[in-house]
Amino acid sequence: MTHRYSAIRTARNARTARSSVSGNLALYNTINQISKENQRLSKEIKQLRKRIKELEKLLAEQDKIIEAQSIQTTSTNERDELLRRIEILENLLDYNVFNVKKENIGEDERSYVVL
- pLDDT tens, 38-86? 999 999 999 999 999 999 999 999 999 998 888 888 888 899 999 999 8
Q: Residue ranges of the alpha helices (H) in 95-110?
A: none
Which residues pair with residue 113 across a beta bridge?
A: 101
Do residues 105 and 113 make contact, with C-beta atoms less than 8 angstroms apart?
yes
pTM listed for this prediction: 0.48
Residues with Cβ within 8 Å of 110's Cβ and at least 6 positions away in sequence, in order, are 90, 93
Do residues 102 and 113 make contact, with C-beta atoms less than 8 angstroms apart?
no
Q: Which of 27, 45, 25 is nearest to 37 (CA)?
A: 45
